[in-house]
Structure 1
Amino acid sequence: MYAQKDTIKEAIFKTLKVIRMHDWLLDLYVLDFFVDGHWEKLPSSWQNCFENMTPQDLGNILSGIPTSHVLPLSFISLVKSVQVLSLPRKPKFERSRKVTINDEDSCGGHPKLKNLFLKHVKLKKRHEISLMAEVVRSVALESKCDAVMDFGSGLGHLVRVLAYKNNLHAAGIECQSQLTEEARKLDLQLEYTASKHLSENSTASLLRPIHLNMTLTSNNQLHQLKLPDSMKTYGLVGLHPCGDLGPLLIKHFINCKQVKYICVVGCCFMKLTCEGKECGYPLSEYAKGLDSKLSYVSREIACHAIEIYLERLRKDNYDDLKVHAYRAALERILVEHDPKLKHAPVRNIKHSNTMTFHQYSTLALERLNIPVVDVARGESDLLQWRRVVTLYTLRLALAPLVETVVLLDRVLYVLEHGLLCEIHPVFDPKLSPRNHIIVGRRT
């Protein structure tokens, strides 16, 4: 169902209202937990409630499992608000739109080429590419447009599916020339494999994608691309474009009549430009007229996977989550050692849950070139690791609201310009946390 402006406006207004009431929580950066005394900033009723609650209990509560704990009404209200106002994350794209390819003399239909597009692709990417290609194919048919450009195409996995399997004229736009060269090699490898199973006519008629290099900083650059005659009109695809790239693609869709549709999945909200005429957020005139600011810290937490995190808590598997406490404890030591070291870029340590704090801090401080500091204070702070995990969990519970505002602002921006727009949760959020696809179309 296509979104309606009034419905989107009401949703943005209500969601921002709840966010404004809880900015104090969203902006409690866990890194500063001990430096700024974050636990004491929680309401006293929350402190009393969560002090003796296990992370497992909190994970169950936020997953909707009944509890015997007496919860503060303000917390219950917040949880309910998040449930009601957040965009649904359970995948439910209309599977009936799927296009079945029955022609066995094709890349998409030959039984021995079933796994042709899975080589060199990790599980998460396979999941995303398969569903994204299905959505793009469906929208392309509705738009009567058989050409598409994929921005941030990397090794070209998506454009290969769109071209060779779905018979779309596809172009991949990538900023790194090395990836573009590798993409061309993978195209040739695919064609070689396909030629062993397809007729000469089918092999000769394969639509090879084109790969171009461009670092996109302005939507005006897209008008300068030299495209073949088969791509006089086209659709835009962005599978997790970082930061401002997603908004740039949406703006190009709005401003260029040659672009018949767009399918874009957001990512890296913390890298959005939030000030100036060409900002990436907010886009819509309506949101610009509200108190719609979102801090860097709140946009950063909105990029994390709440489903996977809560699942770990519920399974009593949160030892690896102590890394937040390790880093927060080290931060207090660094700041007390030298205030100029606040938020210093320490080395990222894997498997820290198997280390002592002394081992962790020794490795983390390697790149700062300072002597190993006294870790006794840190070891004392680590006794409060459950508090750190609890605070992070509470902030993460709010994250879907922030993502909802960013995505609905993009949908509304398209609607304000008189174009059709819808949004679907398509990917499995446990595999791909940013799982909503925004689809815009020209009629």
Structure 2
Amino acid sequence: MEKKAYSCGNAGETLEWIGAIIDFIKPYSFFWDSHVVHFLTHRLWEAVDNEWLDTLRNEPLDYLIQIPSGFVQDRWPSSLKKFITTSTALSFPREQADFNKIFPNTQTILLNNVITQGMSQKKRHEIEALAAVIGSVAKDVDTNTVIDLGAGQGYLSQVLSFEYHLSVIAIDASDHHGRITHARAQRIKKHYDARMHKSSLGGREVMTPKTVTCSVLSPDMLNTLLNFKDIDECCLPSKPLLLTGLHACGDLSVTMLRTFLANEEVKAIVSVGCCYNLLSEESGMDNDALCGFPVSKGVKSSGLHLGRSSRDLACQSADRWRSMEKDASLHNFELHAFRAAFQVVLSRYFPETLTIIPTIGRQGKALRRRQQSSSMHGYFSTVNCCRAETGLTTGGVLCKSNSTGGKAEHDDRCLLFEKFSQCGMHRLNLNQMHGIDFAGIWKEAEPFAELIGPYWSLRATLGPVLETLILLDRLLFLQEQGDSVEVKMLPIFNPSVSPRNVALIAKKV
């Protein structure tokens, strides 16, 4: 099929794209239905084409981390090249769109240092772009009222209020976030009051967003809230309404779409989703009508079930992997190898933990951050010392032993694996560490550790395809409503800065 530049013009084209993705991914369920933590316990490499692994196990690290972005070499097997290039062709384009051309009346306001206090560079980039799109769509549907769902600390709400002069209600499930939003808005208002006083608009009122604490679990709950006349002791602003959410997690993004269709007062929606791993998925239960995936009739009729592992894979970012420095990439693969070996520890010594799907968090990344911000000699400072002593700063993934440093390299990694495991056991409240043969388990794991990088890269290649499927399901859901809804899908952020960069933009005609 010929993929469209960004969005599909009608439901038929979207359904064709979806069908092509489903046909492509089905033979590779051994990738997307698995998890790298089970690499050793389930011997996951055995499901992969031996020729692929034999080719990639000797390739430089730089090549491996570019595979999810479509990188291939002519000398690679044709079946491997086809897998990678097809994945890329079926994935939604992520390069930031020039939405000033798509929305001719867009006015992008560069944010000042007062309103961006506390924002990361990533958040500032996201809000500058998203606020401009919202401002443009609000003009198109002739509304001055925005409902910001999952508002967090109110960054987007405040920019829409103070800079775009829109009337905003910021809704979040956290009462703590609501208090922060209100207090922050009051501080910022003083700056804008002073600026307004100095201008020729001295009598104009500076609007601040209204904050509401509410956990929106269904469209009915949100509809009740939108129709309630007394919110936070302030009347709901004039209708019609525009609904928005920046990285609304899990089912909340889908709830927004259903609310947009169900509530006649909501004339437009601008939604950027996130956290696909938290989506509920159709399982034959009575509440499937409100599940997070699939939502369209077209995908439901396919009978496809993704599962948690594949939805988690859809959250990964090929653009960030591609921009990783070599050291960070090596850290990444080392952590995957240690985590897979730690799963062997759990299966042998603490099998009861496997029934609850143990999560040990991002302990390696947390330790790295602490090491970078202080002089502590922790896990990653040890890693760096090992690299300096054994020449591990260059070469492939989990570099193979050489004649001068093989045993030292093994001993160093064995020690690091033991420290990693002890951290994981502490997180799981498993304090009985005596008698665990960490060295023996690492000795078993090490011969297969060099396959972690190739396996991870191949599996990660399906991440953008799976995210595309989830996004197209939402697009099709709106397109299935017929001519009453005008909808497009656009990547509005720089993907290297903000990987979840696709906005679903819809208006009622």
What TM-score, normalized to structure 1?
0.92
* Correspondence for 1:147: 145
Note the alpha carbon deviations across 1:272-317, whole angstroms, 9 max, x for none.
111212111111111111132212101101101111113327x464
Q: 1:223 maps to what in 2? A: 223
Residues 251-270 of structure 1 aligned to structure 2 (within 5 Å): 251-270=258-277
Structure 1 unpaired stretches of 5+: 102-107
1:280 aligns with 2:297: no
Q: Is the 8 A contact 1:195 1:203 kept in 2?
A: no
SS in 2 for 1:186: helix
Assess, with a 3 A threshold, how the Cα gap between structure 1 residues 173 and 317 changes in structure 2: closer, same or farther: closer
Matches of 1:66 and 1:17, distance apart in 2: 22
Shift of 1:407: 0.5
Q: More displaced, 18-27 or 238-247?
A: 18-27
Q: Note the alpha carbon deviations across 1:127-156, whole angstroms, 9 max, x for none.
A: 111111011011111111111100010111
Residues 30-82 of structure 1: CA distance to partner in whole angstroms, max 9, x if unpaired? 001110111122112222222322332223455455636x3222221111111
* Structure 2: distance between partners of 1:424 and 1:114: 26
The aligned residue for residue 71 of structure 1 is 76
1:224 partner letter: T
CA 1:164/1:203 → structure 2, altered by over 3 Å: closer, same or farther?
Answer: farther
TM superposition shift of 1:241 = 0.8
CA 1:26 to 1:35, structure 2 compared with 1: closer, same or farther past 3 Å? same
Match of 2:35 in 1: 29
Which residue matches 1:344?
358
Give the residue type in structure 2 aligned to 1:337: Y
Residues 429 and 377 of structure 1: CA distance in aligned 2, closer, same or farther (over 3 Å): farther
Secondary structure of 1:216's aligned partner: coil
Q: Which whole-Å CA distance do the structure 1 matches of 2:237 and 2:350 have between them?
A: 61
Determine if the alignment matches structure 1 residue 435 to structure 2 residue 449. no
1:389-400 correspondence to structure 2 within 5 Å: 389-400=453-464
Q: Cα 1:117–1:203, aligned 2, differ >3 Å: closer, same or farther?
A: farther
Q: Which amino acid aligns with 1:284?
A: S
Taking a change above 3 Å as real, the CA distance of residues 165 and 269 of structure 1, as seen in their structure-2 partners, is: same
Q: How does 1:118-157 map to 2 (within 5 A)?
A: 118-157=116-155
Check whether the contact 2:193–2:206 (CA below 8 A) recurs between aligned residues.
no
Paired residue type of 1:213: T
Q: Matches of 1:359 and 1:311 in 2, distance apart?
A: 29
Asked whether the 8 Å contact 2:161–2:208 carries over to 1, the reply is yes
Q: Within the alignment, does 1:375 sit opposite 2:380 as a pair?
A: no
- Tell whether the 8 Å contact from 2:241 to 2:268 is kept in structure 1 after alignment: yes
Distance 1:410 1:134, change over 3 A: same
Moved more, 400-409 or 350-359: 350-359
**Change over 3 Å in CA distance of 1:284–1:293 after alignment to 2:** same
**Conservation of the 8 A alpha-carbon contact between 1:54 and 1:386:** no
- Which segments of 5 or more consecutive residues in structure 2 lack a partner in the other structure? 1-6, 230-234, 283-287, 369-378, 383-415
Residue of structure 1 equivalent to 2:65: 59
8 Å Cα contact 1:261-1:439 kept in structure 2: yes
How many Å apart are 1:319 and its aligned residue? 2.3
- 1:96-149 CA-to-partner distances (Å, cap 9, x unmatched) read 446448xxxxxx79xxx8323211111111111111101101111111111110
Q: Is the 8 A contact 1:253 1:262 kept in 2?
A: yes
Structure 2 vs 1, CA of residues 230 and 74 (structure 1 numbering), >3 Å: closer, same or farther? same
Task: State the distance in 1 between where 2:362 and 2:501 align.
Answer: 27
TM-score, with length taken from structure 2: 0.80
Residue by residue over 1:191-229, the C-alpha shift from the partner in whole angstroms, topping out at 9 and shown as x without a partner, is 112233322754641122111111011111122223535
Aligned AA (1:344): P
Letter in 2 for 1:239: L
Aligned residue number for residue 233 of structure 1: 240
CA distance in 1, matches of 2:202, 2:93: 42
Q: Would you say the 8 A contact 2:68–2:458 is kept in 1?
A: no
The 8 Å contact of residues 234 and 258 in structure 1, kept in 2 or not, is answered as yes
Worse-matched range after superposition: 256-265 or 289-298: 289-298
Name the residue aligned to 1:105. none
AA matched with 1:210: K
Secondary structure at 2:65's aligned position in 1? Answer: helix
**Structure 1 residue 388 corresponds to structure 2 residue 452:** yes
Q: Which residue of 2 aligns with 1:332?
A: 344
Counterpart Cα distance in 1 of 2:497 and 2:93: 16
Deviation at 1:382, TM superposition (A): 3.9
Amino acid at match of 2:38: D
Question: Quick check: 1:80 aligned with 2:78?
Answer: no
What CA distance in whole angstroms lies between the structure 2 residues aligned with 1:378 and 1:66? Answer: 35
CA-atom RMSD in angstroms: 2.1
CA contact (8 A) 1:93 1:425 kept: no
Structure 1 counterpart of 2:211: 211
SS at match of 2:461: helix
2:362 matches 1:357: no
- State the one-letter code of the partner of 2:82: S
| 1:405 matched to 2:469 | yes
> What is residue 311 of structure 2 aligned with on the other side?
299
Which of 159, 167, 173 does residue 175 from structure 1 map onto? 173
1:95 matches 2:100: yes
- State the one-letter code of the partner of 2:431: I
| Structure 1 residue 310 corresponds to structure 2 residue 322 | yes
Structure 1 residues 306 and 20: alpha-carbon distance in aligned structure 2, compared to 1, 3 A threshold? same
Cα distance in structure 2, aligned partners of 1:385 and 1:118:
44
Question: How many angstroms apart in 2 are the aligned matches of 1:147 and 1:169?
Answer: 5
Q: Sort the Cα spacing of 1:5 and 1:147 in 2 relative to 1 into closer, same or farther, 3 A.
A: same
Return the letter of the residue paired with 1:421: V
Equivalent AA in structure 2 for residue 268 of structure 1: C
